[in-house]
A and B are shown apart, each in its own frame.
Chain A
Amino acid sequence: MKYKGLIYVIVFLLALFIIGYFIYTGAHVGEVNVNEIQP
C-alpha cells in the first residue's frame, strides 16, 4: 500500500486524540453530590 506509513501515523495521532478526550473528561467531571449516593 503506497501510503501505509502515513496512515499509521494518522491512526496513531487519532488514537492519542481519543484517549486524551477520555482523560480530559475524567479530569473535569464534577464532585459527587451527597444526596445522590444510594446506601
Chain B
Amino acid sequence: MKYNLNEKLREDYRHYICIGITFLFLGAGFLFPNALPRIGEAARDFGTSIVYYFYALFLDNPDACPIRPTVLFEQSWQWAPSIWEPIRIFPWTWEEFKVLWVQYWKLWATLDNFLEYVWSLSAVLEIIVKVITLALPLAVPLWLKAQSYTDEPDEEPDENLDTKLGEDTKHLRRFKRLLYVTVYPTARWCKDFIQFVRENKQYYQTWLCLWLVYFNVISIGIAAFAFYFYFVVTFDLISVYTQIVKLLLDLTPMIRFIPGIAWIVVVYLVLNHIAKEAGYSKLEHNECKNRGFLNERGVVTVIYGNMGTGKTRMLTSLALSAEKQLRDDALEILLETDMKFPNFPWVRLRAEIKQRMEERKIVDIFSIRRWIRAWKKDYLYLDENGLFYWYRRRVRKGKQDKDITFGYDIGHYRTTYNDNLQITHIFDAIEDYAQAYFVYSIQTSLIFSNYSIRVDFDRTENGHFPLYNDDFFRRNPKYQNMYSRYCHIIDYDMLRLGKRMLEENPNKNALGFGVYVISEIDKERKNELEIRKQASAKKKSRSDEAEEESCSQNNDLFNACLKMIRHATVIANRVFVKVLCDLQRPEDWGAGGREVGEVVFIKDKGEKAPVLPFFSPYWVIRGLYFFHHGFERFYLNYINVRDDNTLLLYILKNITACYSQYIDRTEKLFGCQTFNLEVESGRMDGKPTERKFYGMDKKDFSRRYSTDAMSAIFDLPNTVSIADFVEYADVMASKSERDKQNSHFQRDIDRYVS
C-alpha cells in the first residue's frame, strides 16, 4: 500500500513539473509578440489568394479581382516591436537583387575584400589561441602524469602481496562515487521523465504547438498554401524570390533565439540524418544491382575462389536476394493476372487457397494445378451443356458446397483474355494466380541449404492480403529474435531422380519452388576420377549386389534432376527455382553437373568502406582517428606495467570507447565491399565476362550464417596444445626432427638415401 502511494506521489509530482514547464513556455510568449498577429496576417494572405484563385479560374480575368493578393507583400511588424532584428541577407525586390548580384561578384573578386576576411578570421583565431593558452598549463602536467603511469616500476612486484587485479585507485573510487550519487541518478531521472512525457502526450503536444506558433512555423505553412493558390494561376516565378525573403524574415525569431552552439548541434543532426538516408539509399541501390546480377544468371550458379575470398558470404547474400526475388516475381504474377480479369473476385480465391493450405489439401504447385484443372473441367462441362445458370441458381439457393467460379459474374464480364500472343481462359488465369499466391503467401523460408542461414522477413496480414517487409538494412539487432527464423535443411533425396539414400523418404517427391543452396558441392558430388576410385574401393569391400543397391553419385541421377529442375517450377512462364553452390575448385565437381550452369570466379575484393556521402560528419570524425591510435599506444604500455585502474585511464578509455563504438557501428551499418567477378559458362571453355557484386556487412554479417559451419568435423577429443609441439633446435632441421613430421616426402627421401 505504501509503495503504491509513493508511486502515485512520484507520478503526481512529475505532472506538477510538466505544468510548471507549460507556464514557463507560455511566459516565453512575451518574447515573440508578433507570433499570433503573424498567423492572422498569413490567414489574410490565404483568404485573398483563394479569392484571386477563383477569379482567375472561373472568370479568367484575374485583373478584375477587387482584392489584391497580399501574399506578395512584406510582413508587417507594426503590431508590436520585435526584439529580434530581422535577418536581411537578400534585398526585397528582384530588381534590387539583380543590381546587387553584379556588385557581389565584383566585390568577391577583390583582393582587399579577401584580405579583410582573412583578417576578420583572426577574431576566431584569437578565441582558439586563448583556449589553448588556458588549456596548455593543464595539458602538459596531464601528459607528464600519463607518461608516469606507463613507466616501468623501479622494483619487482612482491609476489607475496595479495594484490587485487583491476583495483580502482583512491581518486577513481571518489570519482565513481560522485557519478553514482549525482550523475547516474540524474541521467536516470531524466530518462524516466522523458518516458513520462512520451506517455502523457498532452504535455509535449502543447509545448510543440506553442513553439511552432512562436517560431512562425504555422504562419509559414499557411503562407505556403496562400502562395500556392496564387502561383498556380499566375506562374509568377519572380514572386518566388519574394517568398524566400519573407521566409527568412519569418524564421528570424527562431534563428536569433536558439543559441549558436545549439545550431551547430542542429546542423550536425540534420546533416547526419540526410547522410544516413543517402547511405541507406546507396545500400538499397547496391542490393538492386546485386539482384540484377542474380537475374542475369541461369538456374544453376556455382561460385569459386581462393580461400577467404568470401564465397560463402556471397552465396548467402545471393540466397537471401533470390528468396526476395521469388516473392517479388510471384507478386508480379498476382498483379498482372488481376489486371487481366479486373472484375474477378480474387479475394474469394485467396480465401479458398488459405483454407486449403490450412487443411493441407494443397501442399505444392502440382496439387494446386490438379485442383484448379478439376474445377475447370467441371466448368467447361456445365458451359458446353448449357447448365451453367442452373448451377448458379443452385449456388444461390445454397444447394452447392462450393461455387467453382468463386461468384464471378460471367454473364456480364468476359471469361477469356487476348494478349496478342494467345487466348487465356479465366481458369488458366486462376491456376497461375493460385500457384503464385501459394508461393507468395506461404509462411516459411523459401531456402533449402546444407548450412544454416538466418532469414528475417516481416509479414503483415491483418486477415487480408499479406505484405512483406524484408528490408535488410534498417533492422535493429535488438529485436532480431522476434522476427528471425532459419532456412530449411536440404534433403538431397528430393534432388535425386534415381537411387535414393532412403527409398521410402517422405520428402522424395517434394521437389518444387525455392532456393537450393549447397556449399562445398564438390565434396558432395565429386568428379569422375574420385567417383571411380570410390566405386572400386567399395567393390573390394562389398559384394557386387550390395554395391549396386547403395545410393552413390553414379546412380542417383542428381545431375539429370539439375538439368530438368526448371520444369518442375514454372508458373506463368517464370521459373521459380535457383540452385546456388560454392566450391574450392570447379574441376573437383564432375562436368555433368557443373556444365549445367555458370561458374563465377571471385577475382578479388575492393577495400571495405562505408557508403556515406562526402558531407557526412562520419568522415570528419573518422579523421580524428589519430587520437584513438595514440590512446591505444598509451593503453598497451599501461597494462604492460600495471594492473590497477586510475582516474585518468578511466576517463580516457571511456571517451575513446565512445568514439570507437561510433566508428564501429557506422562502419558495420554502412560498410560495403565490391567483389570483382569473372563469369563464364560451366564448360569453362570461353572468355569470362567481368561483373561486380556488392557485399554489404549489414545484410551479410547480421548473424546470417556461421563462417565455420563445417567446423564440427575438427571438433574431436584432444588434449595436446600448440605449446606442446616440439620446436626446432636450430635453423637446420636434424633427421630426428624431420622424422617427427610424419611426411610422405621425408619418407621417400629416407628410402632413396638408404
Contacts and interface: CB of A to CB of B under 8 A. Distances in A.
Contacts of A29: 100, 103-104, 107
Interface string B63-96: 0000000000000000000000000010100011
A9 B627 CA distance: 13
Given A9-B620, A32-B91, A37-B99, A25 B626 contact: no
B465 interface: no
Interface string A3-37: 01111110010000100111011111110110011
Contacts of B113: 25, 28
A18 to B, nearest CB: 11
Contacts of B389: none
Interface residues of B, number: 24
Contact of A8 (B89, B99, B108, B620): B620
B38 to A, nearest CB: 26
B745 interface: no
A5 B91 contact: no
Nearest to A39: B95
Interface residues of A, number: 24
B114 A21 contact: yes
B96 A32 contact: yes
A20 B114 CA distance: 11
Nearest to A23: B89
A9 B117 contact: no
Binding site of B, secondary structure by majority: helix, strand, loop or mixed?
helix
B533 to A, nearest CB: 51
Interface in B588-641: 619-620, 622-626
A16 to B, nearest CB: 10
B625 A37 contact: no
Contact of B622 (A8, A26, A37): A8
A26 B104 CA distance: 7
Contacts of B476: none
Nearest to B625: A5
A8 B117 CA distance: 24
B418 interface: no
B622 A5 contact: yes
A32 B88 CA distance: 14
Contacts of A21: 108, 114, 117
A12 B620 contact: yes
Nearest to A17: B121
A28 B114 CA distance: 11
A36 B624 CA distance: 51
B89 A26 contact: yes
Given A6-B623, A9-B620, A21-B117, A28 B96 contact: no
A28 B619 CA distance: 33
A33 B610 CA distance: 52
Given A25-B113, A29-B103, A38-B95, A5 B626 contact: yes
B120 interface: yes
A18 B622 CA distance: 22
Contacts of B116: 28
A38 B625 CA distance: 56
Given A8-B622, A29-B104, A29-B107, A24 B117 contact: yes
Nearest to A5: B623
Nearest to B106: A29
Given A25-B113, A26-B89, A29-B104, A9 B95 contact: no
B623 A25 contact: no
A9 to B, nearest CB: 4
A10 to B, nearest CB: 8
Contact of A24 (B100, B120, B622): B120
B625 A25 contact: no
B103 A30 contact: yes
B653 to A, nearest CB: 21
Contacts of A6: 623, 626
Contacts of A24: 117, 120
B100 A32 contact: yes
A8 B116 CA distance: 27
A39 B113 CA distance: 30
Given A25-B108, A32-B96, A37-B95, 9 more contacts: A4-B622, A5-B622, A5-B624, A25-B113, A26-B104, A32-B100, A36-B99, A37-B99, A39-B95
29 contacts: A4-B622, A4-B623, A5-B623, A5-B624, A6-B626, A12-B620, A17-B121, A20-B117, A20-B121, A21-B114, A22-B108, A24-B117, A24-B120, A25-B104, A25-B107, A25-B108, A26-B89, A26-B104, A28-B107, A28-B116, A29-B100, A29-B104, A29-B107, A30-B107, A32-B100, A36-B99, A37-B99, A38-B95, A39-B95
